Amino acid sequence: MTFPRRSRTPLKLLQFLGLLATAALLSSSTTALPKHRKSPAETHSAPRLTQDLTGSVPAHDGERIRLSTELGNIVVHTQSAQKIDYHVHLEADASEKDAQQLLKSFTVTAREIPDGVLLKAEAPSRHWSGRLWATLELTIPKNANLEASTGGGNIDSSEIQGHLALNTEGGNINAGNVDGSARFETGGGNIVAKTVSGELFANTGGGHIIVESIGGNATLHTSGGHIRVGSIQGAAHLDTDGGNITLEHSGAELTAETGGGEIEVGEAAGLVRAKTGGGGIRVVRMFGPTNLESAGGSIYLTQVDSPVRAFTSTGGITAWFVAPLKSSGTCDLQASDGDIVVHLPRELPVTIDAQVERGSDHRVIVDPAFPLRVSYDDSSRGSRAVRAEGSLNGGGELLRLRTVAGNIRFVLSDTSKQLELYKQQMDQLQRQIESKIGLPTESQGTNDGSHP
């Protein structure tokens, strides 16, 4: 998908760049729950000593299960049985003199707490030398609430029918369907989830965030990655310091901000605020008031039927209006250094006020179907401004257009072409959401849940 009069940073939502240390490569397909995770023995050639710890603890649906480990990857499954089964797989470098002690000193304890069960895995004390790898596999009642945290490793969770909170200091988080609210936090990995029926809070210090759908409110933040979401039914705040934001459906108020990427929104039912420090903005269809701002890209609006304010410092603005407008209010489109192109239906009642500040070098171009008055003003800041005014179909809401160094063009809308564009853009957004980012393997530098 391309923007008219591209910004200096081209849109490449389908090709993720190597922005992050923890997510460097794309994969052709990735499911939310990998079928196989390579063990340290598969990814390291040195001989290994191994040890397995297993146990079972009574538990019940609706209880809170808290798992805390100082290190290691965590894998969570669910079952119908009213118990918690755990399996810990440990590996140590056989060439290290303290390998056996490392394995023996790793402990797992479980105890009841007022609202559930607490499991704690503790790593060996620091006076032992060598390296230890750990994977903790947990099988819990399917209706339990889970809080799991690790000091260094990835977390994979299957479908959970309760509240889910996952925290890792540096690995990836990969979750299935969550029939409740969820909270995901990682110091630097990717966050990938299927559906979350309740509210979702997700934060990563440097990875991507990909979620299929969110039934409640959403707060998603990454310090350097992309955000891709299929749909959010509640209010949403999406924020990235430098990546792209892609959202197919927004059901309520939406705030999207990026320090330097592109923002693409499909259908937006509520108020939209979008701001980027260096990319383009596209909103396919909007049903509520919209406020868009780009410091370095173009803005493209395919179906406008409500008040919109759009501003870009470097780039153009293209807007396709529909008739009649569903809500009242002024539409204000401003470009400092770019063209403004508006596609208007023949029957749309609207009042036009358009001005090009540097009219000596740029023009207002009007389709003959629109009876607008074009005038010139030689006193505008020492240059000749050109202005177009008029009331179409008896007049209506104000459409105010301003550009400093660009052309303004009024085009008679082609409804069939507009609908074709709408379908093409929604289809492309859907394909982007469906494409997944592959989680880095251990050999690519991801946190492998080891203890130095």
CA angle 427, 431, 432 (to 5 degrees): 115
| DSSP β-ladder status, 450-451 and 132-141 | antiparallel
Give the Cα separation of 112 and 259 in Å (integer).
46
Positive or negative: CA dihedral 164, 170, 171, 172? positive
Q: Express as a percent the part of the chain with pLDDT over 70.
A: 84
Which runs of E-coded beta strand occur in 205-289?
209-214, 218-222, 227-232, 236-240, 245-250, 254-258, 263-268, 272-276, 281-286
Whether the predicted pLDDT of 442 surpasses 50: no
Which runs of E-coded beta strand occur in 36-106?
48-58, 64-69, 73-79, 83-93
**85/100: higher pLDDT:** 85
Whether the predicted pLDDT of 140 surpasses 80: yes
- Contacts for 284-292: CB closer than 8 Å, 24+ residues apart: 284/422, 284/425, 284/426, 284/429, 285/422, 287/326, 288/327, 289/327, 289/329
Residue 390, strand partner residues: 352
**10/254: higher pLDDT:** 254
Give the Cα separation of 280 and 272 in Å (integer).
15
Judged on CB neighbours under 10 Å (0-12, 13-18, 19+), 323 is middle
pLDDT, mean over the chain:
86
Q: Is the overall model pTM greater than 0.95, yes or no?
A: no
Which of 330, 328, 274, 326 is closest to 305 using CA atoms?
Answer: 326
